[in-house]
Chain A
Amino acid sequence: MSRHPEAGPHGLEQEMQEPKTKDAALARIESLKGQIQTALEDPVLKEGSEAAFRTVANTLISIADLFPGIGDAASWGADVAKVYSRIKYKKEQAEAVVAGKDPKKIRMSKLDLTPDVSVEVAVLTELLEFVSIGFLPTHAIEGGIQLYADWPKLKKAALKLREMMQERSEIIDAEFEAIHTFED
């Protein structure tokens, strides 16, 4: 695949006037859908996007956790979700064994925002809430441990995304010629 020498920042920067037709509008929307789907089909990017979602969610819960009452509800809610996810995961694994399927293929529910933090650590950190009368953002401890575990996944996803974007940023010779066919 060769990149066209004129396809740099100045070679194709002139936008053509785009006719408004049903096909054109649909192509635009479908292209965006296609880009998102292609990205999410990649296992590295999927894992990275899940890690990014967890990081954002844990950060928001940790901020909410600064405020007694509502913050405690969010933090405890995350722990309840963790316990529920673990019970469901173990149940599904047991069912898979009975059904003769591979239990390793069962994935933990995404409800658990800190899958790399044990239930014990999650619950014990909540005890610090009582000491600080709810002012200490204890969920940040779990969030921090999870971010440490997720960091390599985030970095791997960033490198994969870079590779994909690098490929899409290069316009090959045949495409360059095709684009020029529609320029007046």
Chain B
Amino acid sequence: MDTQEALRILIQNSALMDDQKDELLTALPDMSPQDQHALGVTLANQRKQEAQQAKEIVEKLDSILAAQEDPEA
């Protein structure tokens, strides 16, 4: 997978707002390789952090919802 294709996937799957995704996708071909790499590393890190945080939130919500279902547990 080349850098631009990888960046497109990361931008599309990011939590950015739609207009910002469009803006970044449009600017992508004119970005320097250094900026593309920097953006790629940032988006990749963000996605990993987000996935980890989302997983922790799911676990916390599960424990809250379970406690609410069965207050004596």
Residue ranges of A at the interface with B (Cβ–Cβ < 8 Å): 7, 9, 12-13, 15-19, 21, 23-24, 27-28, 30-35, 37-38, 155, 158-159, 161-162, 165-166, 168-172, 174-175, 177-179, 181-183
Contacts and interface: CB of A to CB of B under 8 A. Distances in A.
Contacts of B37: 19, 182
28 contacts: A12-B51, A13-B52, A18-B38, A18-B41, A18-B42, A19-B42, A21-B35, A27-B14, A27-B42, A27-B43, A27-B46, A28-B42, A31-B46, A34-B16, A34-B20, A35-B15, A158-B64, A162-B57, A165-B54, A172-B13, A175-B9, A178-B1, A178-B6, A179-B6, A179-B48, A181-B3, A181-B40, A181-B44
Contacts of A17: 41
Interface string B1-27: 111011101100111110010001000
Nearest to A33: B17
**Interface residue tally of chain B, by bracket?**
35 or more
